[in-house]
Amino acid sequence: MDALEALRTRRTFPLPKLGEPGPDDALLARWLEAAVAAPDHGKLVPFRFLVVRGEGRRRLGELFERALLAERRDPPAAEREKMRTNPLRVPLVLIAWAAVRPDHPKIPEIEQIEAVAAAVENLLVAIHASGFGAKWATGFPAYSPTVREGLGLPPSARIVAIVYVGTPRLGQEIPPRPGPGEIARLWPEDRPFPG
C-alpha cells in the first residue's frame, strides 16, 4: 500500500473489532521507526512508548481501575469493568507519552506534545499499512496522575495516546470525511468556512 493510500484509508477500529494476533517484534520495531520520523522542533525527541503485552495488559487494566477508584467517588460497576478489561481486549497496547521539558528556553511544552501526537499519527498509519487495526484512546486514564505514577512516568510526562492494536476481526467502513472544499480556503478571501 502506498503512503497516500494508507493515509486516505486509515480508520479507527472499536475494541470489539480487534483481536489476535498482534505484531511480532520486528514489525513493532518498524512501526516505532515510522513513529519517530515525525516532525520534532529542536530535535528534543520527546516521544516515548510503553509497550504492553501479555500479563502486562492485566496489570494495566488493574492500574486503570485502581486510578478510577482513587479519583472518583463510587464509580458505576460497568465503568470499573471497562477500565479493568479494555487492555485485555487486544494483544498489544502502546502508551505514547511526551517526555516534556517544561522549562525549555525555545520549544514550548505544546510543541513537544504536538510532536508526540504527530508520532502517534505516523504509528497509526504504519499499523494500518501493515494490515493491523488500531484505536487511539485517551479519556480518564490518559489524564490521571495515579496512572502516570503507576506507570513510573515523571511528573512532567503527558500521556498523549493509549493505542489499542490488534488484527481486525471484521471489515470496517471508512467513515465519511470532509472534502478539501470544506476544510481549505484560499487566503485572503471573504468566503467563510461552512458551519
Please identify which residue in the block is written with the cell numbers 460497568: 78
71-123 pLDDT, tens per residue?
988 999 999 999 999 999 999 999 999 999 989 999 999 999 999 999 999 99
pTM summary value: 0.93
How confident is the model at residue 161, as a pLDDT?
A: 98
CA-to-CA dists, residue 34 to 21, 117, 121, 184, angstroms:
21, 13, 10, 27
Cα torsion through 66, 71, 77, 81, rounded to 10: -40
CA-CA distance, 123 to 121, in Å (whole number)?
A: 5
Q: Is 133 within 8 Å of 165 (Cβ atoms)? A: yes
How confident is the model at residue 190, as a pLDDT?
A: 64
Q: Which CATH superfamily is domain 24-169 in?
A: NADH Oxidase (3.40.109.10)
3-state secondary structure of 49: strand
CA-CA distance, 34 to 194, in Å (whole number)?
A: 35
Sequence spans of domains, the chain? 24-169
Least-confidence region, from 10-19, 119-128, 155-164, 181-190: 181-190
**H-helix or E-strand containing 117?**
helix 109-129
Task: Show the DSSP H helices in 130-186 as ranges.
Answer: 139-143, 145-150, 180-183
Where does the pLDDT of residue 193 fall: very low under 50, low under 70, confident under 90, or very high at 90 and above?
low
Q: Is 185 within 8 Å of 191 (Cβ atoms)? A: yes
2-60 pLDDT, tens per residue?
999 999 999 999 999 999 999 999 999 999 999 999 999 999 999 999 999 999 999 99
Query: Mean per-residue pLDDT for 152-173?
Result: 93
Give which of 57, 18, 49 is closest to 33, Cα–Cα: 49
Q: Is 165 within 8 Å of 43 (Cβ atoms)? A: no
Is the model's pLDDT at 195 over the cut of 80? no
Q: E-assigned strands of the chain?
A: 18-19, 47-52, 92-98, 133-137, 158-168
How confident is the model at residue 69, as a pLDDT?
A: 95
Question: How big is the CA angle at 60 (ends 100 and 164), to the nearest 5 degrees?
Answer: 75
